[in-house]
Every structure is written in structure tokens, then in C-alpha cells.
Amino acid sequence: MRSLLFVPGDSPKKLDKGMASGADALIVDLEDSVAAAGKAGARQTTLAFLKEAATARARPRLLVRVNSLDTGLTDDDLDAVVAGRPDAIMLPKAEGGALVMHADAKLAVHEAVHDLPENSVGIVAIATETAASLFLAGTYRGASRRLQGLTWGAEDLSADLGAEANRDRDGRFLDPYRLARALCITGAASAGVPAIDTVYVDFRNEDGLRRECEEARRDGFTGKMAIHPAQVAAINAVFTPAPEAIAHAQRVVDAFAATPGAGVVGIEGVMYDRPHLMRAQALLARAKAAGLIGQ
């Protein structure tokens, strides 16, 4: 998933626009974008949307951001939306692998109630929204077979820290949030799941968005969340492997395939070792997922 677009779960109009946005995934939001008084209605709107979207010939992946486990609202969210067979839930304020296991158990019950196959609903965890979560970023490994990715957030974290801002005047993250970002990507690597970069809130600043996407891709993030449909095209463009990068990765893979068991290969006078092979394989996997090369 290159682009994951947040859409309020209480707005059929915005949900329909999301389907046409070109995003690889929609995050139907039952948490921050829905007021307390509107939660019940948003659940029913979301369920109706999930059921209708399931019939579409080609559709983005559908995630539902439920309310965090400490609110007491998660069960009501799952009661309503699991029947719509979302591809995954997004778990906010995930404080380590233990909370993912807790969410896993809840999903197992709801899958059974609705006669869904076991593990049919995945989990994408927001791993950095509280101060406590930063100390638990390395605990996701082996927590759940449902875990499909880790992402991070700066807005809730800044509130938890009592900070006045999370970015400097140039729009770059300040040190506590750079730490959260680093812990997310290392935690994801440890868990063997994709790392997804956080939102860029200045949605009219395409240059800033593109710069942040390029830095995220450079560091190993495989995609980025969006808060506005206008951000999707830039995110997709940056996280789609370029033809020359695909060709180079294929040469690396082919060179290792031609010399089974080799630890190092030479291509046009440059030496490549096993870490290069792993990066090449990961890039080709992203290219396949984007439909750029055959399966």
C-alpha cells in the first residue's frame, strides 16, 4: 500500500470520493474525525459503505480506524463493522504487542460471530501516539499473524507530551517525533511488516509533501497516509518504483540467481552483497504490488 487515505466514517459523500481518489487503501475513520454523539451513526454508515464497496470490481483496500482500546468503544465499533469484512482495522494508541494481541482476540470473536474465516481481518497499528508506546515499539514481533503494518503519529503524541508544536518553522519534525518515526520503522522491520509514514497535514503544500515522501521512501517506509484526496497522486508517484530502479533491482536478483550460494556478485564493476539482494527483492515486490511487472 503506497497511499492510505483517511475518510470520515460518517460522510457517505467523502467515502464515495475516496473510492475514486486513486488511493491504494482507504482508512474509514471512526475515531478522531467523528464526534462522540455521531459514533453510532458513523458505525452504520461505515457498515453500509463496506458492504457496497465489497461488490466493486476494483477497489482499494478498506481499513477501519476503530476507537482505541482504552475508550471502551472498540467493541461497539467491531460489533458494527466486522460484518462488512474490512481488510483490516487500524488500531490507534497501540502500546506494543500486548495491545495487538488484545485486539486480535476481540477480532477472533467477531469473526466467529459473523462466520468469517479466521484471521480474515488484519491489523495495522499506530505505534507512537503515547509516550508509553515509544518504550514498546520493539514488542510487535510475533504478537499476531494479523499484523499487516506499523505506522506512527505525531499529533496525539505531542498532546501526550504537552508540547507546543511537533514541527519547526520549516515544517520538519522536531526531535521527539523524529525519535517516534525511527522507532516505528525499526519496530516494523523487527516485526517483518511494512512501515507506513504518518500524515502531512499541510495538504496544500505539495512540495513539502513530496519532500517528506521522498525522505520516507529513502529511509525504508513503503507508503504514506493522506488526509486529503489531493495528496494521493504525489504519494503514489514517489512510492512507485521508477523503471530504472526496477531494471537495476532485476539485474541484482538475476546476478545472484546465476551464482547460487554466492555472497557477493559483480555487476558492471560494482560489488553487491546480500543486503543489496534483499533491497532489490523488496523493491521488485513493491513493483509487483503496483502492477508494474508480472506476478
Name the grid cell of 139.
514488542
Phi-psi region of 277 (alpha: psi -120 to 50; beta: other; left: phi over 0): alpha
Name the grid cell of 24.
491504494
Q: What is the pLDDT of residues 170-198, one digit of tens each?
A: 999 999 999 999 999 999 999 999 999 99
Helices 243-258 and 274-289, interaxial angle, to 10°? 130
E strand or H helix that includes residue 172 = none
State the Cα torsion 42-43-49-51 to the nearest 10°.
Answer: -170
What is the number of other CB atoms lying within 10 angstroms of the CB of residue 52? Answer: 15
- What pLDDT score does 244 carry? 92
Task: List Cβ neighbours of 189 (8 Å cut-off, separation of 6 or more).
Answer: 195, 220
Q: What is the pLDDT of residues 230-273, one digit of tens each?
A: 999 999 999 999 899 999 999 999 999 999 888 899 998 899 99
- What pLDDT score does 292 carry? 84
Is residue 294 predicted with pLDDT exceeding 80? no
CA atoms within 13 A on the CB side of 33: 20
Confidence of residue 290 (pLDDT cuts 50, 70, 90): confident
Q: What is the pLDDT of residues 49-77, one digit of tens each?
A: 999 998 888 899 999 999 999 999 999 99
For 260-285, the three-class secondary structure string (H helix, E strand, C coil) is: CCCCEEEECCEEEEHHHHHHHHHHHH
Q: What is the pLDDT of residues 155-164, one digit of tens each?
A: 999 999 999 9
Q: What is the pLDDT of residues 79-136, one digit of tens each?
A: 999 999 999 999 999 999 999 999 999 999 999 999 999 999 999 999 999 999 999 9
- What pLDDT score does 122 carry? 98
Confidence of residue 295 (pLDDT cuts 50, 70, 90): low
- Check: CB of residue 67 under 8 Å from CB of residue 45: no
Largest CA distance in the chain: 65
Domain boundaries, the chain: 3-239, 243-289
Fold of 3-239: TIM Barrel (3.20.20)
Mean pLDDT throughout 195-203? 96
Q: Rounded CA gap, 265 and 271, in Å? A: 6
Please state, rounded to an integer, the average pLDDT across all residues of the chain: 95
- What pLDDT score does 291 carry? 81
Give the predicted TM-score (pTM) of the model.
0.90
Q: Rounded CA gap, 104 and 98, in Å? A: 10
